Amino acid sequence: MHEIRVQEKILEAYPAFRRGIVIASNMKNDGHSKALEGMLNQAVEEAGKHPIDIKTDPRTEVWMQAHRQFGSNPNKFPPAHCSLLKRVQKPGTRIPFINKVVAIMNTNSITAVTPVGGDDLDRAGQCLELRYANGNERFTPLGQPEISEHPDPGEIIYVVAESGEVMCRRWNWRNGHNTLISEKTHTIVMNIDCLGEDSEEKAVKTRDQVAKMLVDFCGAAIITTMLSPSHMSYRFTP
């Protein structure tokens, strides 16, 4: 039995926060898909044609403010989807096709203008939690397996509760290395995080789009749910 949860204090501080959850198992993440690559390229192209101001657009500004609220400087440590949008808005930009799941995450992060991230469940643990850090947890940055560091106390982290292994620092700034999604990944938990007045509607819409793409391109078996102030945790067997 696995559990995914959001600490009550976070939902008290951010009452509009919704986390759409997609649990995908029996996936086939190896190989390439021209159709999926085409969708990713189209999303990048459209973002370049219709750029937004990351600092003032309500869809990104709400995340900048959320980071400031827990004491993080979003200019120094920007939310990952804001960094991605800033990158793809430059003319002629292309995003490499790493694997199918990563392409699905990137496509939806761009088109929905919201954080979409995921972790290899087989490499994580039993309880995955979004909570405030105490500073004793351990983080290995993506692509840097030789480094081990600690989050700042009070920082919002996504962590394996039983081991203290941080999967993502500063809510959605930088992913950890140990739960990265590779072509060999078969089971994932994907998070679609939304803030703002229409957060629940947006989280449902993006979550369901992600789920459909995981079925269509990876042949995955899917479970979906939503974490909110009235539903702070979810237990499941993938």
Domains in the chain, ordered, with CATH? 2-236 (3.50.40.10)
**Is 171 within 8 Å of 114 (Cβ atoms)?**
no
Distances 81 to 39, 78, 116, 219 between C-alpha atoms, Å: 17, 8, 8, 26
C-alpha triplet 143, 129, 147: angle, nearest 5°: 25
Q: Sorting pLDDT into bands at 50, 70 and 90, what band is 238?
A: confident
Q: What is the pLDDT of residues 59-101, one digit of tens each?
A: 999 999 999 999 999 999 999 999 999 999 998 889 999 999 9
Q: How many CA atoms lie within 13 A of 114 on its CB side?
A: 23
List Cβ neighbours of 129 (8 Å cut-off, separation of 6 or more).
Answer: 4, 5, 6, 7, 158, 159, 160, 161
The encoded tokens of residue 196 equal 């703002």
Tokens 């120094």 found at: 76
pTM over 0.75: yes
